[in-house]
Amino acid sequence: MNSAPVASATASLDDPFYYLTNFRYVLAWVEARHHDLLSASERNTIRHFETLPQASQALLVRMVMRKGELFRLDKLAYAEIGDTEQALAPLVAMGWVDSAPQLNSRELFRLLRLSELRQALAGEITRAGLARNSTKAALQTDLEERLQAPAPLQQWWPTATTQIVRLTVMALCDRLRLMFFGNLRQDWAEFVLTELGLQRFEQVPITAASRAFQHRDEVTTYLTLHRLRERLVDGEPPNLLAQEVPGTFGNRWLDARRSRLLLNLGRTAERSGDAELALSLYAESNNSEARIRRLRVLERLRRYSEAYQLTISALDAQPNDGEQQALRRLLPRLARKLNQPVPHTSNAADAPTYMLELPGPQPVERAVAEHFSAATAPVFYVENSLLTGLFGLLLWPAIFKPLPGAFFHPFHSGPADLYREDFVHHRQVDIDACLAQLDDGRYQDTILRTWHAKQGITSPFVHWGIVSEDLLTLALKCLPPAHLRACFMRLLDDLKHNRAGLPDLIQLMPEALPGEPRYKMIEVKGPGDRLQDNQRRWIDFFCRHGIPVEVCHVRWQQEGKQ
């Protein structure tokens, strides 16, 4: 096949075979940029794909785009393809589709209608003494143990009026999709959303060095970790899955994914009561949440000395704010259990807090915003959008800098390394140049120009539906650059976790007297709600940096009367 990608990343939706054109684009892209990561068999499959009739290619792609690997033939009817059986025949001949796959009882119940199941399983229903009018769920529950051995549909139901087929090349298609997108979250719909104008992406130059993967083993490891996580979600026991987890890979990105899998396995083991397995999995996971979970399990098992020493070591390692907060809560409890001196820990700073009685119930943020809003001091619902939006607009050139491994296809909402430890290090010069504008006043013009130039382009920080030009203009007039710098530096300390937990509302007061605050942030808590840990960390930060913030608790007036 042609090794050069097609000129456009998306096909027009006016073309009935738009999805096939997009699939061919991915094949061309992967073969051009990842040829060395494909096996001879995979390259051969791609070449054979191009020899198929167009209808057969289209049918294959239609199945690839749908969920799962099993399909009813009567559900694969597409006007542009025509005769489904005729289009299917070459795929069966190539071995890419199994026309008589083995089906277990769960698959049978998922694919057949209730009326069809009553025909297919009439004998089993009678032998089990079940009512003919039983629901589908009841039949499945009552017959599950009797229907053990997988078999083709024709064996389950000799007079079947439909055919079920299995796509056998989905693993290869997932591998190709992974090499293109660098993840399995994105799928073929990205092309369609772009063509419809629902998503627009920053156009970043892509060089030969811009690849998600440099070695085939990296692709295989990613897929292995992904499949293990899927099997865990499907209910397979963590003790068996843990035996299949690959060792550390030496690639920080893949090792971080491995650590998250171990965390999830550990949490499942802990919930099922296997504390020792959970401890083992948490200990192997280089993940801050896993470290805290391990300490809590040790505390629950009354292994206080072990937990105390691990807590001290974790604090000495200078953890992020979230982990440090959890450790400092745990340490005094463990010290008391061991009759050790309780270490001094600084208390978080508290913001001014008050209670409002308002008519309700109604959306609590809207109620508070309407209560406080005035013509000269409007209140906006911004939550995690305004400060992060200002950050994203000012640092746009640094965030979208075309570094190797950061962008490798046309559908990136942000750099692939955004949450990796070395993100800031690799862009430090660019970040410093952006932040320097806060010192000389250029930042306001830069932010507004970027807003106009990049309007609607997908960004990990800018939520266009909330960050309007009017809100930006007013916020830039009221928020001091020193406060913006402090907040931006905290975001950069931990982009993944610190982008959340910001206050719900902001009141902007452009006509405030000189020397008075020109804005304040308001965290709103409705009846029964309380501050979350990430909110407490932001409030503590605001208080220590002189940034005006309040906490408003709300109760509804009728509750007060009762």
| pLDDT in 10s for each residue of the chain, 562 residues | 333 333 456 777 888 999 999 999 999 999 988 999 999 999 999 999 999 999 999 999 999 999 899 999 999 999 999 999 999 999 999 999 999 999 999 999 999 999 999 999 988 888 888 887 889 999 988 888 888 789 999 999 999 989 999 999 999 999 999 999 988 988 888 887 676 666 889 999 887 778 888 899 999 999 999 999 999 999 999 999 999 999 998 888 899 899 999 999 999 999 999 999 999 999 999 899 999 999 999 999 999 999 999 999 999 988 888 899 999 999 999 999 999 888 776 667 888 999 999 998 899 999 999 999 999 999 999 989 999 999 999 999 999 999 988 998 888 999 999 998 889 999 999 999 999 999 999 999 999 999 999 999 999 999 999 999 999 999 999 999 999 999 999 999 999 999 999 999 999 999 988 878 899 999 999 998 999 999 999 999 999 999 999 999 999 987 545 4
Residue 254: inside a domain: yes
Do 240 and 148 lie in one domain? The reply is: no
Q: Max CA-CA distance within the chain?
A: 87
249 and 157 in a common domain: no
Range of the domain at 218: 209-337
Is 194 inside a domain boundary? no
Q: What is the dihedral of CA 46, 52, 58, 63, to 10 degrees?
A: -60
Same domain, 102 and 54: yes
Q: Are 366 and 468 found together in one domain?
A: yes
The answer to whether residue 10 sits within a structural domain is no
Domain co-membership, 333 together with 357: no
Domain termination site, one of 309, 337, 365: 337
Q: Which amino acid is at 129?
A: G
- Taking the CA atoms of the chain, what radius of gyration do you get in angstroms? 29
**Looking at the 3D structure of the chain, how many domains does it have?**
3
Q: Does 55 map to a domain? A: yes
Residue 283 is assigned to a structural domain of this protein: yes
Residue 533 lies in a domain: yes
Q: Is residue 200 part of a domain?
A: no
Percent helix, strand, coil in the chain, to 5, is 55, 10, 40
Q: Is residue 82 part of a domain?
A: yes
Condensed to tens digits (0 to 9), the pLDDT of residues 379-420 reads 999 989 999 999 999 999 999 999 988 998 888 999 999 998
The predicted structure's pLDDT at residue 8? 54
Coil, helix or strand at residue 157: coil
404 plus 531 within the same structural domain: yes
163 and 304 share a domain? no
- Which residue's entry shows tokens 């297919």? 120
Same domain for 53 and 156, yes or no, is yes
State residue 211's pLDDT score: 83
Of residues 548, 531, 502, the one with CA closest to residue 352: 548
Residues 492 and 537 in one domain: yes
The C-alpha atoms of residue 222 and residue 529 are separated, in whole angstroms, by 39
Q: Tell me, yes or no, whether 164 and 70 share the same domain.
A: yes
Residue 196: what pLDDT?
62
Q: What is the CATH number of the domain that holds 290?
A: 1.25.40.10
- Examine the domain organization and report whether 381 and 491 are in the same domain: yes
Q: 465-479 pLDDT, tens per residue?
A: 999 999 999 999 999
User: Do 373 and 467 fall into the same domain?
Assistant: yes
